Amino acid sequence: MRLPTMSGNFLLAPIPESSDYFLNKDIKVAVLGSRSVGKSAMIVRFLTKRFIGDYEPNTGNLYSRLVHVEGDQIFLQIQDTPGSIQEQENFVQVLDSLNRCLKWADAFLLVYSITDYSSYQSIRPLYQHIQEVQPDSKIPVIIVGNKGDLIHARQVETNNGIQLANELGSVFLEISTSENYQGVCDVFQYLCKEVSKLHSSSNGERRRSSIIPRPKSPNMQELKRRFKQALSSKVKTPT
Ligand SMILES: Nc1nc2c(ncn2[C@@H]2O[C@H](COP(=O)(O)OP(=O)(O)OP(=O)(O)O)[C@@H](O)[C@H]2O)c(=O)[nH]1
């Protein structure tokens, strides 16, 4: 049994200031789920292509990497979160960190293990908590059933995952981090594409609104007209 030690503040790496260079290309993903569902393994698999079986208990690392998605260069930050938040002694402090992470993220990856029914049950409350912290319903969320290779130990049917995702209005994938790199890649690529789409449509809105000329105040026009009139009447002073 692994008992994670927590720092209580798991945004460990500095988050760069956003700049024009990263406009549309700066994407932040938070990975959430119960303990030992394979969050760290999945992130490391995505970033290194390697499956590394054993990890120190997750204290919440922030990974940053330049990745390429459909020809775009993206500065991707992935926040791993501890899987046993409720068990922490400093629960309030940890929850505060979690909420800051939820506000920070552009997209969410919710992970359960198909071998652990309780990890599946934790997804709905997690999702609801995200909705409370970020009430913007457009935020991309993907639900992932991990450890798809452990069929003999299966406790969660694929249909359960599909149903839950349909109900919550998110996307669902069942994958095996250990056996299939492509599945892991699909998960992160999906989130990057969805966030990119959202970013470009909101920047488009901003651009459009900045080129629409501000309507002139009728009072100002009236004032200008009177001012001109007054000037011309001065010019036309009788000789
Ligand atoms: N068979 C199998 N094992 C996996 C898979 N993904 C992860 N694991 C194993 O599951 C265990 C837990 O993986 P972690 O990545 O540490 O899980 P975590 O969700 O980060 O765990 P916490 O630190 O408790 O939050 C490790 O022993 C991994 O090797 C998978 O797809 N298949």
What are the pLDDT digits (tens) for 143-195?
999 999 999 999 999 999 999 999 999 999 999 999 999 999 999 999 999 99
Beta-carbon neighbour count of residue 42 at 10 Å?
Answer: 26
- Which ligand 1 atom sits nearest the alpha carbon of residue 176? 31
Could you tell me which residues come within 8 angstroms of residue 64 by beta carbon, excluding any fewer than 6 positions away? 13, 75, 76, 77, 78
Considering the chain, what is the average pLDDT of its residues?
A: 78
Any atom of ligand 1 within 6 Å of the Cβ of 113? no
For position 160, what pLDDT does the model report? 98
In order of 46, 71, 91, the CA distances from 178 in angstroms are 11, 27, 31
Choose between 219 and 190: higher pLDDT: 190
The ipTM (two decimal places) reads: 0.99
**What H or E segment, with its residue span, contains residue 229?**
helix 218-235
For position 86, what pLDDT does the model report? 57
Question: For the chain, which domains are there?
Answer: 10-211 (3.40.50.300)
- Ligand 1: centre distance to CA 95 (Å): 22
- Ligand 1: centre distance to CA 146 (Å): 9
Sorting pLDDT into bands at 50, 70 and 90, what band is 125? Answer: very high
Residue 25: DSSP 8-state: T
Q: Whole-structure pTM over 0.80, yes or no?
A: no
